[in-house]
Copies of this chain bind each other. A is one copy, B any other.
Amino acid sequence: MFSNTSEIIEILGTIAFAISGTFSAMQRKLDVFGVLIIAFVTSVGGGTIRDMLIGDTPVAWMRDVQVCLVILVTSIAAIIFKTYIRKLKVTLFLFDSLGLGLFTVVGLQKGINFGLNPGICIALGTITGCFGGIIRDILLNTIPLIFRREIYATVCIFGGVVYLLLLLRFNVNTDVSKFLVIALIVATRIIVVQKRLSFPRMRY
């Protein structure tokens, strides 16, 4: 199961997003089954859209049933342990940022493996990182987080540019590049939220 770095990153991202999905759904007071569905969709949504766009079907989670088990176990564990977590909002934010960083790198690397244009690789990384959360918010009938307050998708695009520069321009080792970009995305998200950074809103 853990034969290489890519798989470890994918599993960690799956766990991080399953936790963030579970907590989001509990905030909306869904029943147990609804919570599990939202955890699943948040976790696999980005990769599913990515695979349908590039035509790599059956999509990833259909070929690897362990992903489904990881989500199920993680989500149930999150439901059970939630009473022990005091600063739930902070925990939720950290897991969401971690998932964002991990899945952006997964999507970037998949674009590179498919030999796609660098700009498209960055788009794929951003889609893999962000779309789980977008679908989750559409299902819960709210304007997706990505279009509201803080800088979100831009962090993925920024991470994607850095990743491609590290790999293609500076010939940094793939695993080192991955680790650096994941750390960069998580750190940037924390700074954005702590400093309340945002782009100016448009008026009409």
Contact = CB atoms under 8 A, between A and B. Distances in A.
Interface of A: 23, 25-27, 29-35, 37-38, 48, 52-55, 57-59, 62, 65, 68, 79, 82, 88, 114, 116-117, 119-120, 123, 134, 138-144, 146-147, 151, 153-154, 198-204
B37 A147 contact: yes
Contact of A79 (B58, B143, B202): B202
Given A33-B151, A62-B120, A141-B141, 15 more contacts: A25-B202, A26-B203, A26-B204, A29-B202, A31-B202, A32-B200, A33-B154, A37-B147, A38-B147, A53-B57, A54-B58, A55-B58, A68-B120, A138-B139, A140-B147
7 contacts: A30-B202, A34-B147, A52-B53, A62-B120, A65-B119, A68-B119, A138-B138
Classify the secondary structure of A's interface with B. helix
A52 to B, nearest CB: 5
B146 A143 contact: no
A200 B54 CA distance: 39
A146 B147 CA distance: 22
A197 to B, nearest CB: 11
A201 to B, nearest CB: 5
Contact of A199 (B31, B58, B147, B151): B31
A116 B57 CA distance: 12
Contacts of A143: 139-141
A53 B154 CA distance: 28
A193 B138 CA distance: 26
A200 B31 contact: yes
Contacts of A144: 139
A201 B154 contact: no
Contacts of A203: 26, 29
